[in-house]
Amino acid sequence: WQKTVKVAVTGASGQISNHLLFMLASGEVFGKNQPVALQLLGSDRSFGALEGVAMELEDSLYPLLREVSISTDPFAVMSDADWALMIGAKPRGPGQERADLLDQNGRIFVDQGRALNEAAGRNCKVMVVGNPCNTNALIAMENAPNIPRKNFHALTRLDENRAKCQLALKAGKFYTNVSRTAIWGNHSTTQVPDFINARIGGRPAIDVVQDMKWFKEEFTPTVANRGGALIKKWGRSSAASTAVSIADAIRSLVTPTAPGDCFSSAVCTDGNPYGIKEGLIFSMPCRSKGDGDYEICDDFIIDDWLRKKIAATEEELVKEKECVGHLIGI
Ligand code: NDP
């Protein structure tokens, strides 16, 4: 057996966690020989539900699940964590301004960032899901200087999966034929799903589909607005597919990336090869050797369409950063 991997999860009684925790415990994320301990964060609001989640996990008799602990103290939950999956966040209220949401959520991520800094494993990998996830990840990173900046991710894998789905449907191919599908920038409607570098069956997607109007006027907005479209149908935000994409995002870091392929993750822009402003958490194509670490792919073609779209999402993230300057010491 390998050493138990300790996974801290915030928002552990929420919808996404209700799918994800069972995937983590089953071995389908970290592998069938990898014991897991789950350290779950709740609040006074959610404590009963959290106890219920822990009871269900225990009753599932997963052979790899070695321990489930629950707490309302972020320092206890982050203790020695190898991974921190930061899912909890305050939802946007009716008519609430984005700046207020950034501020209120930002305060949660200041506290949890400090807890990471004090208590988590020194090489803890951090995946922020709670929205606005890029800027929340930035706040956590800036408040956790003891953890390498490179270890902070915000989830854009769901956007990548949505983009792959649309490309596969359009080309009439199974989605496993779609590769090199990057999402650039913010996990918001300014995100840039990259059809220029995407491949279908090993060929450029633009040669396979041969319909630029579709790429620009249908594919791009469909992917960027998919979250909102789903809320209209369901009356709540995506939970199961988000949990699947978090599992995908972790697996992409703990298994080697296929040659020539990539996965999307919003990571720190320090030293990035595309000239994107440093000090942001920005989705880019990455690849991994499977050791939990990654590098940013440096061979993606940036044409005029991508350059303009990337500049717009970059601008949005710069503005978000300005809104939370008081939480990150600038
Ligand atoms: P839920 O509403 O089901 O759960 C949210 C959790 O956040 C609750 O369990 C709550 O737990 C916690 N929370 C923390 N602070 C607060 C607060 N101040 N007020 C209210 N709740 C709080 O949400 P989901 O699980 O569906 O989604 C979680 C987050 O993930 C959301 O921010 C959502 O926007 C985001 N998301 C991100 C996606 C991405 O691709 N990046 C995709 C889909 C969703 P507790 O009471 O224990 O604190």
pLDDT at 290 over 90: yes
Residue 43 beta carbon below 6 angstroms from any ligand 1 atom: yes
* 207 CA → ligand 1 middle, Å: 40
Give, in words, the CATH class of 157-322. Answer: alpha beta
Question: Which residue owns the Cα nearest ligand 1 atom 42?
Answer: 242
- The pLDDT-based confidence of 91 (bands split at 50, 70, 90) is confident
Q: Characterize the bridge pairing of strands 199-200 and 203-204.
A: antiparallel
pLDDT at 95 over 90: no
pLDDT at 155 over 90: yes
Tokens (6 digits) for 46:
């959610």
Question: Which residue owns the Cα nearest ligand 1 atom 10?
Answer: 11
* 106 CA → ligand 1 middle, Å: 13
Domain ranges of the chain: 5-154, 157-322
pTM: 0.97
- The pLDDT-based confidence of 171 (bands split at 50, 70, 90) is very high
Residue 46 beta carbon below 6 angstroms from any ligand 1 atom: yes
- How confident is the model over 168-186, as a mean pLDDT? 97
Question: Which residue owns the Cα nearest ligand 1 atom 1?
Answer: 14
Domains 5-154 and 157-322 in one fold:
no
- The pLDDT-based confidence of 2 (bands split at 50, 70, 90) is confident
Q: Which residues contact 265 (CB under 8 A, 6 or more apart)?
A: 153, 154, 155, 156, 157, 249, 252, 283, 284, 286, 294
Give 95: exposed, middle or buried? Use CB within 10 Å, 0-12, 13-18, 19+: exposed
- The pLDDT-based confidence of 294 (bands split at 50, 70, 90) is very high
ipTM for this prediction: 0.97
Q: How many CB atoms lie within 10 A of CB 237?
A: 14
Give 86: exposed, middle or buried? Use CB within 10 Å, 0-12, 13-18, 19+: buried
pLDDT at 261 over 90: yes
Residue 200 confidence (pLDDT): 98
**CATH code of the domain made up of 5-154:** 3.40.50.720
Residue 101 confidence (pLDDT): 85
DSSP character string of 33-58 = T--EEEEEE--GGGHHHHHHHHHHHH
Higher pLDDT, 93 or 231: 231
Q: How many CB atoms lie within 10 A of CB 91?
A: 12
How far apart (Å, rounded) are the C-alpha atoms in residues 42 and 17?
11
pLDDT > 70 in the chain, percent? 100
Angle at 243 between CA 16 and CA 193, to 5 degrees: 115
